[in-house]
Amino acid sequence: MAEHIRTDKTGHILTLTISREQKRNALNDAMYATLADALEAAETDPDIRVVLLLADGESFTAGNDIAEFATPGASPVNVFRFLQALARATKPLLAAVQGKAVGIGTTLLLHCDYVVLAEDAVLITPFVNLGLVPEAGSSLLLPARIGHARAYAMFALGEPVAAPQAFAWGLANKIVPNAELGPTIAAVAHRLAALPPDALRATKQLMRQAARITAQIDTENKLFLERLASAEAREAFSAFFERRAPDFSKKA
């Protein structure tokens, strides 16, 4: 189990908490492995009826660990396993988001069935800025949810979307003051956990086209791996760690 993911099973609710505050909760390979294992196990554990994703600290997550993005030959097995587990999940998946949710921090929300945002939440998907392409099925799910124009501005321009806008666009169920985030999502989790689990599961399966989404994730993953090795992405990763703006002017 990764040291930066806390797992708690209380009653019928499995809570997974991202806890790597010194790196703004950036997700590394070991964390993806733990998250993937937990989601896969939840599917077959009859005791678990609801899965809740939380994060410690001021930011939900800064997205994928850029140091690992920048490591040549790093294995994508666990992140891909996590993405597929998100798309295949048949039990209710809930998230509570405070502060910044970058990259996968936003795209994973598209797989959640109930999302509560704190007042300071901001969703950001700067894939093109990093020389990358969207992942987690988001190239299909985000335009479907909010329309092409808005999704394109988020992906291509990396335009941040603050909580009120995210709520208005249907990316979240409600916005609450930061202090009420935990109790609000816990109350929803308990309500869902008390419902008939088979009906809940069947309803989610009807609402989500898992086969189509997993196929899109496979397509995205191939392109994403190509992009990770590109000169554009290498420049973007170097710029991040050198705390400067990337320079794409010389790239073909």
Nearest distance, CB of residue 154 and ligand COA, angstroms? 12
Q: Angle at Cα 100 formed by Cα 98 and Cα 101, nearest 5°?
A: 95
Is 164 or 241 the residue whose CB approaches ligand COA more closely? 241
Residues ≥6 apart with Cβ < 8 Å to 57: 19, 21, 24, 25, 99
Q: Going by DSSP bridges, is the β-strand pair 13-18/5-10 parallel, antiparallel, or unpaired? A: antiparallel
Q: Does 63 bind ligand COA (CB under 6 A)?
A: yes
Q: Does 20 bind ligand COA (CB under 6 A)?
A: no
Is 130 or 185 the residue whose CB approaches ligand COA more closely? 130
The count of residues interacting with ligand COA (CB under 6 A) is 16
Q: Does 193 bind ligand COA (CB under 6 A)?
A: no
**How far is the C-alpha of 105 from the C-alpha of 75, rounded, in Å?**
20
The SS3 assignment for 66 reads helix
The SS3 assignment for 244 reads coil
Q: How many CA atoms lie within 13 A of 243 on its CB side?
A: 0
Find the radius of gyration of the CA atoms of the chain. Answer: 17
Nearest distance, CB of residue 247 and ligand COA, angstroms? 17
Considering only residues 90 through 109, tell me which ones interact with ligand COA, judged by CB under 6 A: 100, 102-103
Q: Does 227 bind ligand COA (CB under 6 A)?
A: no
Q: Does 220 bind ligand COA (CB under 6 A)?
A: no
Is 206 or 245 the residue whose CB approaches ligand COA more closely? 245
Residue nearest to ligand COA (CB): 103
Q: Does 29 bind ligand COA (CB under 6 A)?
A: no
- Which residue bears the tokens 């554009």? 232
- Per CB under 6 A, residues contacting ligand COA are 23-24, 26, 59, 62-67, 100, 102-103, 126-127, 130
